[in-house]
Amino acid sequence: MSEKFDYPGLAKNFANRFPFLSFIMTQIAFWVAAEMLLGVLINIFLSAISQAFQLPFRINLINNISVGIMLGILCGLIIGFIDYLFEAQYFRRKSLGIIFLMKAIISFIVFVTLFSMVRFILFEKLIKPFLAESGPYFNEQFWKYWFYLFIVYNFVMILIITFINQVNKKYGPGILIPLLLGKYRNPKEEERIFMFMDLKSSTTIAETLGHIKYSSFIRDSFMDINLMLNKFNAEIYQYVGDEIVIMWSLKNGLKEQTCLKFFFTCGEQFKKRSSYYLENYNTIPQFKAGLHMGKITIVEIGEIKRDLAYHGDTINTTARIQSICNEHNKSLLISKFLFDNINTDENYKTESLGLIYLKGKQNAVEIISIEL
């Protein structure tokens, strides 16, 4: 992973810009690899049987792989499309048990359809011509056992691919390959922009709603924030209670004041959904945030529960900046260091709060307030 070719950055930007296309292409790639592997395994198995029993038929690896590629493309398209559609529209609020059952039923239907296509179409055109007239007789019993093999293999593959999808969802696009290559086994220094967003008046809202309804309120608020991530090339670092930590690469966060626009667009999203929040919670979410940029280290940590951890003064400073929002009655505060790099325009009202000694910091930090 050289600095000249930033695979994680390119993958994240593509996924943020074209989320549906990125997901479908990824699923096609996984399924093509899986079905090609099946084609190779079948070729090896049939070659061994042919040699052992001196059966008069030739095995064509290219044809087996071609069938695998066609099946992989169809599997990726169909299952990928269904997964994406259901995750966005239906599965989002369903239990894991319901999700697993629905996906298992849909996948079984897809696999049966594809097996029928192999048996009645692809076998006749790509495989049967290579069999001698006196070759083996492919009766119903033969196809029954191949059907069992096909279903079991593909269900194992769907478990593996689902696991990979969950890793991608947890760490974000473009991180899986660096993890497999051990990029973050040892600390790596990178530059990031961090935003700590914290719910205003959270204690009062929690007391009013009660802890069950308050949890639903936080869930819905975070869901609306999540809807803005792709549009602004943002990533979730972590959730901490009623606080959410967002981050950007310098390139994505500084370009066209993206990190500032993200915060204010989240506020607009809450206003658009104000009728929903008022009807269900009698209050509209309002967040306060701190923004800062600088160097951090990234390292893979944990054994029982693995994660990517970000360490450094940049994160601590960002949290401290957010913590003084209430003190100054401001919604968005950023460091002067970030302000000097972001090229804010006349659309924003800016005010310097001067040099402030943040908790735990020896040197004062100049803080800028940003408002629309």
Residues 298 and 161 placed together within one structural domain of the fold: no
Number of domains in the chain: 2
Quick one: residue 210, left, alpha or beta (phi over 0 = left, psi -120 to 50 = alpha)? left
More confident residue, 186 or 283: 283
Residues 105 and 201 placed together within one structural domain of the fold: no
Write the pLDDT tens digit of every residue in 199-239: 999 999 999 999 999 999 999 999 999 989 988 989 889 99
Residues 17 and 86 placed together within one structural domain of the fold: yes
Residues 155 and 224 placed together within one structural domain of the fold: no
More confident residue, 307 or 7: 307
- Look at residue 5 and tell me whether its pLDDT is greater than 60: no
Write the pLDDT tens digit of every residue in 155-191: 899 888 888 887 777 776 667 777 777 778 888 899 9
More confident residue, 9 or 364: 364
- Among 140, 171, 202, give the residue marking a domain's end: 171
Mean pLDDT of 244-269: 93
CB 106 within 8 A of CB 155: no
Share of the chain above pLDDT 90, in %: 43
Quick check: is 274 in a domain? yes
More confident residue, 192 or 104: 192
* pLDDT given for residue 351 in this prediction: 93
Q: How confident is the model at residue 284 (pLDDT cuts 50, 70, 90)?
A: very high
Q: Which domain range does residue 241 map to? A: 187-371
Residues 213 and 352 placed together within one structural domain of the fold: yes
Quick check: is 115 in a domain? yes
Identify the bridge partners of residue 300 per DSSP, sorted by sequence position: 308
Name, in order, each residue with C-beta under 8 angstroms of 70's C-beta and a sequence gap of 6 or more.
Answer: 122
CATH of residue 358's domain is: 3.30.70.1230
- Among 171, 206, 222, give the residue marking a domain's end: 171
* Residue 252, CA distances (Å) to 14, 145, 161 in order: 12, 53, 29
Residues 213 and 359 placed together within one structural domain of the fold: yes
pTM: predicted TM-score of the whole model, two decimal places = 0.72
Residues 198 and 105 placed together within one structural domain of the fold: no
Q: How confident is the model at residue 309 (pLDDT cuts 50, 70, 90)?
A: confident
The least confident of 49-58, 84-93, 223-232 is 84-93
Residues 143 and 247 placed together within one structural domain of the fold: no
The least confident of 9-13, 34-38, 334-338 is 9-13
Spatial separation of the C-alpha atoms in residues 16 and 234, rounded to whole Å: 8
Residues 129 and 245 placed together within one structural domain of the fold: no
Give the position of tokens 């020896």: 362
Residues 75 and 155 placed together within one structural domain of the fold: yes
CA 141-146-150 angle, 5° bins? 150
More confident residue, 168 or 21: 21
Residues 153 and 229 placed together within one structural domain of the fold: no
- Among 111, 137, 171, give the residue marking a domain's end: 171
More confident residue, 11 or 337: 337
CA atoms within 13 A on the CB side of 261: 20
Quick check: is 18 in a domain? yes
Burial status of residue 212 (CB atoms within 10 A of its CB: 0-12, 13-18, 19 or more): exposed
